[in-house]
Amino acid sequence: MYTDVRMASNSPAPNSSTRFYGELARWWPLIWPVDDYEEEAAEFVRVLREAGVAGTLLELGSGGGHNAFHMKPHFALTLSDLSDEMLAVSRALNPECEHVQGDMRTLDLGRSFDAVFVHDAIDYMTTEAELAAAMATAHRHCKPGGVALFVADAYRETFSEDTSCGGSDGPDGRGVRYLEWTFDPDPSDSLTCTQYTFVTRELDGSLSTSSETHVYGLFPQSTWVQLLEAQGFSVSVVTEQTSDEREPRRLLLARRS
Ligand SMILES: C[S@@+](CC[C@H](N)C(=O)[O-])C[C@H]1O[C@@H](n2cnc3c(N)ncnc32)[C@H](O)[C@@H]1O
């Protein structure tokens, strides 16, 4: 379903499966707690509101539904993701939202929305063809005059290597900690890697460790804009407003004519 990385070589390959969005999905609420998403979700709501969006919104790659939790008071949400396990986590948090299993490269619900929202899941598009396919899905599901909001973590020109750690404890005594190490093994290609290590503590105190590498696509902003325009969108670049100590992301607001 996802990708493994050829760690022996310098160049990551488009790949197969990770446990993160499978058997580890139940830890998602403790890995990145839903409260951590409040500020960025409010910013996405602000941008969408200013673009005139007030009704229905489809999220592609909605994961555990943490952004959705903060966005659902403002829009009628349909949440889609590749992973049944992540959808189960989101259903528990957002029972009032519609949930649909599907691949953002091929999803076709046969109906359109006032807006389409794609957060960090878009980073899993590792080739221009995959990115274009996800953009085509957004276009297919956008009403004429509607918008698609894309929130990539980075473009080729804004990427920087990074290491972070985090995690939290649940009220029941379970806990998780993680190390997230992002690097670019080959700056001449369009792929980056993030190596994750998770340590989980069960109710009985038993600890488990697992590590895996995720491969992400990395493209120049101009490539994104060209691919969106080729789908029939007109594109505005919106600089995110954030109090986080990091470079604000450049959001792409794409309007379907
Ligand atoms: C980091 S999580 C998203 C978390 C989400 N932003 C939230 O608020 O909880 C990334 C998600 O992308 C999903 N994903 C990866 N490739 C996908 C694809 N081709 N189509 C749909 N979802 C995909 C994964 O299953 C995973 O749930």
Q: Can you give the CATH number for the domain in which 56 is found?
A: 3.40.50.150
Whether residue 152 is found in the same domain as residue 175: no
Whether residue 209 is found in the same domain as residue 87: no
Task: State the residue for tokens 């007030």.
Answer: 54
Give the pLDDT of residue 245. Answer: 86
Whether the pLDDT of residue 6 is over 50: the answer is: no
The DSSP result for 191-226, as a single string, is EEEEEEEEEEE-TT--EEEEEEEEEEE---HHHHHH
Task: Please tell me if the CB atom of residue 65 comes closer than 6 angstroms to any atom of ligand 1.
Answer: yes
Q: How confident is the model at residue 17 (pLDDT cuts 50, 70, 90)?
A: low
Question: What's the mean pLDDT in 50-67?
Answer: 98
Cα 182 to chain center, whole Å? Answer: 16
Whether residue 137 is found in the same domain as residue 58: yes
Nearest residue (by CA) to ligand 1, atom 12, is 121
Whether residue 40 is found in the same domain as residue 122: yes
Whether residue 126 is found in the same domain as residue 138: yes
Whether the pLDDT of residue 15 is over 50: the answer is: no
In this structure, what token pair is assigned to residue 109? 């619900």
Nearest residue (by CA) to ligand 1, atom 19, is 103
Whether residue 44 is found in the same domain as residue 151: yes
- Total structural domains within the chain: 2
List all residues 6 or more positions away from 171 whose beta carbon is below 8 Å from its beta carbon. none
Over the stretch 146-178, which tens digit does the pLDDT of each residue have? 999 999 999 999 999 999 999 999 999 999 999
Whether residue 113 is found in the same domain as residue 178: no
**Alpha carbons within 13 A on the beta-carbon side of 125:** 30
Whether residue 208 is found in the same domain as residue 146: no
Task: Please tell me if the CB atom of residue 214 comes closer than 6 angstroms to any atom of ligand 1.
Answer: no
Whether the pLDDT of residue 8 is over 50: the answer is: no
Whether the pLDDT of residue 7 is over 70: the answer is: no
Residues of 121-135 as b/e, b for ≥16 C-beta within 10 angstroms?
bbbbbbeeebbbbbb
At residue 127, φ and ψ (nearest 5 deg) are: -130, 160
Burial of 120 (0-12, 13-18, 19+ CB in 10 A): middle
Task: Please tell me if the CB atom of residue 117 comes closer than 6 angstroms to any atom of ligand 1.
Answer: no
Question: Which is the closest atom of ligand 1 to the Cα of 37?
Answer: 8
- Best CA proximity match to 197, nearest among 183, 181, 184, 182: 181
The preferred substitution site among 35, 62, 99, 153 for testing ligand 1, maximizing ligand atoms within 8 Å of CB, is 62
Whether residue 121 is found in the same domain as residue 177: no
Whether residue 36 is found in the same domain as residue 120: yes
Whether residue 208 is found in the same domain as residue 228: no
Over the stretch 179-200, which tens digit does the pLDDT of each residue have? 999 999 999 999 999 999 999 9
Whether residue 180 is found in the same domain as residue 144: no
Task: Please tell me if the CB atom of residue 105 comes closer than 6 angstroms to any atom of ligand 1.
Answer: yes
Over the stretch 126-138, which tens digit does the pLDDT of each residue have? 999 999 999 999 9
DSSP-derived pairing of the beta strands 250-256 and 233-239: antiparallel
Domain region containing 227: 32-156+220-256
